[in-house]
Chains A and B, each alone.
Chain A
């Protein structure tokens, strides 16, 4: 086994071990009721944001394209999930919540994936900041369109209408324009979120370590060189983009079905930015980093509740300071020299353990 391969294996094992460990710990806390309501209520959203962050990292960190419209895919997934779940319940009487949830998540992923492909074909021709602004534009367009979308279910059939609410008699509204997806029966569970994280990690880590993944990274590092080596750049970029969109859609479905209602204003440009912050703070291309930062940054504002009205202020200051501290070469070298002895000690221990 080469060193690089071994490091990668260790990294993957650590990632999975941490996620599974955290899940087991939380489950046991739930079992013996030592968890606060507040934390318990955040578990499913945390799972959703972790999946969002990891999938966006696939686009930004691994494929090297700045996307500012990731929340758009999430909303596609959330709406699709809510409609599918409502339809299964109202038209087909599917009472099994697990079945409904799974079908809704799969449908949400597929819908967002298709949307990702539609957007990706024209957009991935663009580079850098231009790509960023176009993804931003698509995110806003999706939000604008969802705002005037009406979906109802009557006599077992879904009825769609756009711009004006013309619905047959006796319809049960599932999506009601600005009122969003309404009367959702919340069926998301923490276990489902955990499974979704595992699936995401498996998909992303496998993709990164595969032939396609190497091609994607080569394209990121030097597009021209990769192109001249015969790498079909657009194909691989599409692959990363569509996968990320589909995963975001699945996260969206889980997110939507965790609440009794979902509104378009939840998926604004600011939400895309929030996910971007998770990715950048976790480290570009670092999947485990995304998992950790998405978790911490979702919990952090809640822990800052004690600061009440100042907490967004504190959050902003923390964000700026962290960016400066992790990115300034001077401060970084000071920090790393402080951390170095600890690291060395750790490494020594590990090596010692191995030789023994």
Chain B
């Protein structure tokens, strides 16, 4: 019974990691950059949704849409202003810029919304939990898992079927060649950021529905954990992010429940290291063949 309870807890934490990891992995797969500001876009999305619900009295769905719209705009702006000028630069330069952007977003949030934590209001997402015997599953978990599945399927279909999706895959495979084939690389990458940031808004709402505390630093630790999850599953792989996220959540909860709460994070990272040593490109990552 306790085992099942822990498993459910692990799944709900993991599904949150998964949904954040999806955004990470998508941007990484196509733009080939670690967007460290992703966690902070999530935080902004959650704040917008919070404002929508708490101050403007919007219905939940509209508040989420508003958050998605703002985040999409934000993502595209960040990409255009900060990352696009660095398209030819080393990946490290881009990484540092992303870190700078992460600081910037956190401090802007601190200025606008202050340091006091906000509690994310109740919506249909975090309604009454569902009970089966002694087990209880919070409704936020169910929504998160549903959202994960829908997003994963939609993203897979989008990249496989649509023209833009195909362009994304081309850019991901070989940016130079894609450009030669007449693909507008800048527009494709902008589009990637737009989708990634809209997903971040959803992730923000779901994150704060499960753990209803909202602060300017809300996005950073889940961001790092989700990034770890994306690497765990094989960064760049959409199903990989999903599997990596869920596994990471389950491992974290089991580590805390059966070994020690003090060492929970150490256990997560230790498992990650072991996995990467056995499979250096993550669970579903494709091994890269080097040509001489």
Contact = CB atoms under 8 A, between A and B. Distances in A.
A320 B104 contact: yes
A133 B96 contact: no
A284 B95 CA distance: 14
A273 B98 CA distance: 11
B186 interface: no
A134 B272 contact: yes
B92 A312 contact: no
A125 B274 CA distance: 12
Contact of A133 (B90, B93, B95, B276): B276
A241 B90 CA distance: 21
B263 interface: yes
B280 A324 contact: no
* Residue of B96, B110, B272, B292 most packed against chain A (CB within 10 A): B96
Given A129-B235, A319-B96, A320-B101, A328 B86 contact: yes
Interface residues of A, number: 49
Interface stretch (A20-28, A138-146, A152-160): A138-146
SS class of chain B's interface: helix, strand, loop or mixed? helix
A138 B273 contact: yes
B143 interface: no
A117 to B, nearest CB: 16
Interface in B88-120: 88-90, 92-93, 95-97, 99-101, 103-104, 107-108, 110-111
A347 interface: no
Contacts of A145: 263, 266
Interface string A179-213: 00000000000000000000000000000000000
Nearest to B281: A130
Contacts of A327: 85-86, 89-90, 93
A139 to B, nearest CB: 9
A126 B276 contact: yes
Interface string B269-292: 110110011001110000000101
Interface in A107-163: 122-123, 125-127, 129-130, 132-134, 136-138, 140-141, 144-145, 147-148, 163
A317 interface: yes
Contact of B265 (A140, A281, A317): A140
Contacts of B266: 140-141, 144-145
A17 B273 CA distance: 43
Nearest to A61: B92
Contacts of B82: 320, 324
A178 to B, nearest CB: 10
A276 interface: yes
A276 B96 contact: yes
Contacts of B101: 316, 320
B276 A316 contact: no
A122 B93 contact: no
A284 B90 contact: yes
* Residue of B82, B92, B108 most packed against chain A (CB within 10 A): B92
A144 B260 CA distance: 12
B265 A133 contact: no
Nearest to B292: A224
B282 to A, nearest CB: 8
A269 B273 CA distance: 16
Contact of B85 (A269, A316, A317, A328): A328
A148 B277 CA distance: 26
B97 A324 contact: yes
A280 B97 CA distance: 10
B215 interface: no
Interface string A277-311: 10011001000000000000000000000000110
A127 B280 contact: yes
B96 A315 contact: no
B254 interface: no
A320 B280 contact: no
Nearest to A327: B89
Contacts of A125: 277, 280
B34 A60 contact: no
15 contacts: A122-B277, A129-B235, A134-B273, A134-B276, A136-B224, A136-B228, A137-B269, A140-B266, A141-B270, A144-B265, A277-B96, A310-B111, A324-B97, A327-B85, A327-B86
Interface of B: 34, 82, 85-86, 88-90, 92-93, 95-97, 99-101, 103-104, 107-108, 110-111, 224, 227-228, 231, 235, 260, 262-263, 265-266, 269-270, 272-273, 276-277, 280-282, 290, 292
Interface of A: 60, 66, 122-123, 125-127, 129-130, 132-134, 136-138, 140-141, 144-145, 147-148, 163, 224-225, 228, 269, 273, 276-277, 280-281, 284, 309-310, 312-313, 315-317, 319-320, 323-324, 326-331
Going nearest first, the 4 A-B pairs with the smallest beta carbon separation are A137-B269, A319-B100, A327-B89, A316-B103
